[in-house]
């Protein structure tokens, strides 16, 4: 179908215009005098594009805030921006057709609230940075929803199963079914998929354009540490994928399921990863019945960022690294590269008055010898006032050339030693540090009641999930268990045998620890905690790192078993920027044109169409009723 033919057939009153963005990370590095404003400036530009393009709604893919409990300054600035750009007298053109009690836990769609004056409704899920935490499991998005600024959807309090009921919106002849899946640990989500406990409810009648918004690992980071696209149902038309920070906003078709995936990426660089240096964008999604197009908008207020990796071995002859002051030679080489990168960064200046001028520079130098490295912090001090990140501008990555040796029989002891060395070298997570401390601590510094495993679980929940109640809950639980044990043998206790009595308590530590996990999980589910438990220990776990302290500083022989490896938690990743390295547009051609084969459509879903100027707006129509009947289970098979 030609563009001219389409323009005559498409009525703007039947076309939804939606601005999409993700991973805004408001409040990132907000106390930094140089970079503290970056996240707010970029978010304001996103809202300006929504206003200027007269969109019907805004969809955010999670991580609106950088932390779950943002500062009052961040919350205040966010609400001011939403109040400035999203409130107004413009009539809403979207009819809301689904059951609001199914779509929103404790609120209604904000533009049907008589106390609010919404001009552009915002729909948002939460991500791993702004997920519910602390007392009551309240997210920062809950606060925005309560105050009517955001329609917060896709939040799950019962993580034993997931049943997603879509938000049903209609504009003229175009009908949209919007599914939301806020962040859930990839490991837990994988388990729910494997146990057939994830469902999507599909509208009963035909003609719906189906969009799913989610916030998970997209890049393969190991088994159960990402969400494979093939797990999603084939009846979807478009997936808006948050969490990954590199911008791949041009829709890419999944060859197996035939839906398209748009990955908006972040609007601010939260790490100096290569994926973060890709141009930042938001996009205008236009939907007309079964057709859609997505027009990227390059953000003009994003701080320039140039990333480059240099393999020093390729310049070894030129630099004569086998003689003289090698370190100084490498430092001079790095200075030349940094100057080149600063010049390239000037090409990313857009002329926008609000765009920060000092660039982010990251030069990663791959070296083969330690002698080739220089003091990067001291080197960066010379660029203060010229770059935004002088303290971490240069990093080194050591590349080791491995020589093949003759094949030898496997030495099991050598393999175990190598594994242990590797484990010790990579044990950098906070809970592993705590675990190793209590394992290696002097006898007089060992725990008497709590176990090392309980302390690692406490550390994990406080560091990874910012659970402020974990310490109180765990300590009180162990106190109750220890007192119950002592009460049971109260008649036999005296000052001389207290250590032996406590040793009896420690002998059933595995059961106590697993009961503690059940208690924590129960509290988490009641409060809507989206994060996974550590899980109970099997019979193969032979030690909890617990060595009760006795009054003569000797260690109880009943706990002399070797230390069990700390369980590795998956699915959350670092709390910095994500930025996967996959290349963009791997399966699209042009602006996403191409046939949606196998779906029985005569024209492409992403076929380009022209949208003329909008006619006078219509007021919103209130509707009730579910209008949903068919339940569809998500599996690896196409549910089309």
- Distances in Å between the Cα of 220 and the Cα atoms of 224, 226, 568, 610 are 9, 6, 17, 37
Dihedral sign computed on CA atoms, order 566, 572, 577, 582: positive
Reading the block at residue 327, the tokens are 């370190």
* Residue 410 DSSP class: -
Whether 222 and 571 have beta carbons less than 8 Å apart is answered as: no
- Distances in Å between the Cα of 287 and the Cα atoms of 192, 204, 518, 608 are 32, 20, 46, 11
Question: What are the strands, taking DSSP E only, across 520-561?
Answer: none
Question: What angle do the packed helices 452-465 and 470-488 form, to 10 degrees?
Answer: 160
Q: How far apart are CA 322 and CA 396, in angstroms?
A: 19
Instruction: Give the CA diameter of the chain.
Output: 95
Please count the residues of the chain. 640
Beta bridge partners of residue 200, listed in sequence order: 164, 632
| Active-site choice (129, 215, 243, 435) | 129
Whether 166 and 210 have beta carbons less than 8 Å apart is answered as: yes
Question: What angle do the packed helices 509-527 and 470-488 form, to 10 degrees?
Answer: 140
Report the run of H or E that residue 308 belongs to, with start and end: strand 305-311
Closest CA to 302 of 359, 370, 224: 359
* Residue 36 DSSP class: T
Closest CA to 472 of 482, 462, 485, 460: 462
Is 245 designated active site?
A: no
Beta bridge partners of residue 204, listed in sequence order: none
Beta bridge partners of residue 630, listed in sequence order: 202
Q: What is residue 360's three-state secondary structure?
A: strand
CB-count exposure of residue 509 (10 Å: 0-12, 13-18, 19+): buried
Establish how many alpha carbons lie within 13 A of residue 320's alpha carbon, considering only the half-sphere containing its beta carbon: 3
CB-count exposure of residue 79 (10 Å: 0-12, 13-18, 19+): middle
Which active-site residues does the annotation give?
129
């Amino acid at each position: 179908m030609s563009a001219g033919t389409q323009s005559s057939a498409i009525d703007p009153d039947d076309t939804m215009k939606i601005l999409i963005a993700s991973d805004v990370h408001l409040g990132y590095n907000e106390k930094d005098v140089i970079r503290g404003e970056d996240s707010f400036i970029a978010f304001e530009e996103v809202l300006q594009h929504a206003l200027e393009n007269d969109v019907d709604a805004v969809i955010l893919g999670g991580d609106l805030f950088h932390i779950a409990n943002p500062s009052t300054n961040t919350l205040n600035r966010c609400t001011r921006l939403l109040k400035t750009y999203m409130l107004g007298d413009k009539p809403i053109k979207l009819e809301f057709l689904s059951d609001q009690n199914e779509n929103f836990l404790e609120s209604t769609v904000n533009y049907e609230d008589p106390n609010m004056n919404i001009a552009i409704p915002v729909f948002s899920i939460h991500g791993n940075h702004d997920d519910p935490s602390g007392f009551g499991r309240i997210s920062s998005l809950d606060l925005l929803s309560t105050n009517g600024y955001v329609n917060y959807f896709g939040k799950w309090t019962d993580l034993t199963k997931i049943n997603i009921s879509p938000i049903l919106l209609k504009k003229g002849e175009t009908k949209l079914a919007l599914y939301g899946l806020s962040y859930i640990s990839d490991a837990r989500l994988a388990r729910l998929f494997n146990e057939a406990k994830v469902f999507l409810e599909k509208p009963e009648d035909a003609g719906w354009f189906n969009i799913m918004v989610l916030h998970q690992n997209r890049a393969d980071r190991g088994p159960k540490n990402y969400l494979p696209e093939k797990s999603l149902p084939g009846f979807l038309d478009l997936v808006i994928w948050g969490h990954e920070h590199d911008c791949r906003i041009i829709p890419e078709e999944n060859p197996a399921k035939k839906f398209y995936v748009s990955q908006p990426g972040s609007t601010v660089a939260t790490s100096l990863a290569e994926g973060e240096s890709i141009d930042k964008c938001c996009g205008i999604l236009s939907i007309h019945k079964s057709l859609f197009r997505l027009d990227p908008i390059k953000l003009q207020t994003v701080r320039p960022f140039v990333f480059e990796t240099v393999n020093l071995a390729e310049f070894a002859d030129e630099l004569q690294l086998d003689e003289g002051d090698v370190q100084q030679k490498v430092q001079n080489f790095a200075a030349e590269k940094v100057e080149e990168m600063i010049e390239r960064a000037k090409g990313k200046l857009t002329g926008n008055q609000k765009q920060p001028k000092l660039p982010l520079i990251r030069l990663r130098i791959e070296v083969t010898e330690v002698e080739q490295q220089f003091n990067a912090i001291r080197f960066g001090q010379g660029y203060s006032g010229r770059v935004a990140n002088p303290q971490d501008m240069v990093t080194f990555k050591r590349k080791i050339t491995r020589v093949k040796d003759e094949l030898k029989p496997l030495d099991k002891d050598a393999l175990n030693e190598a594994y242990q060395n590797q484990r010790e070298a990579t044990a950098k997570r906070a809970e592993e540090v705590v675990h190793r401390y209590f394992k290696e601590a002097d006898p007089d510094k060992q725990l008497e009641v709590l176990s090392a495993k309980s302390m690692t679980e406490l550390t994990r929940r406080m560091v990874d999930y910012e659970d402020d109640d974990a310490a109180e809950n765990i300590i009180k639980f162990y106190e109750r268990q220890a007192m119950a044990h002592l009460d049971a043998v109260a008649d036999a206790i005296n000052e001389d045998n207290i250590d032996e009595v406590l040793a009896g308590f420690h002998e059933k530590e595995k059961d106590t620890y697993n009961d503690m996990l059940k208690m924590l999980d129960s509290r988490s589910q009641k409060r809507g905690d989206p994060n996974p438990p550590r899980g109970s220990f099997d019979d193969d776990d032979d030690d909890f790192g617990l060595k009760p302290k006795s009054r003569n500083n000797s260690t109880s022989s009943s706990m002399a078993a070797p230390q069990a490896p700390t369980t590795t938690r998956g699915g959350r990743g670092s709390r910095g920027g994500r930025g996967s390295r996959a290349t963009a547009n791997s399966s699209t051609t042009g602006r996403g044109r191409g046939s949606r084969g196998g779906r029985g459509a005569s024209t492409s879903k992403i076929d380009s169409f022209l949208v003329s100027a909008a006619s006078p707006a219509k007021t919103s129509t209130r509707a009730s009723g579910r209008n949903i009947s068919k339940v569809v289970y998500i599996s690896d098979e196409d549910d089309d």
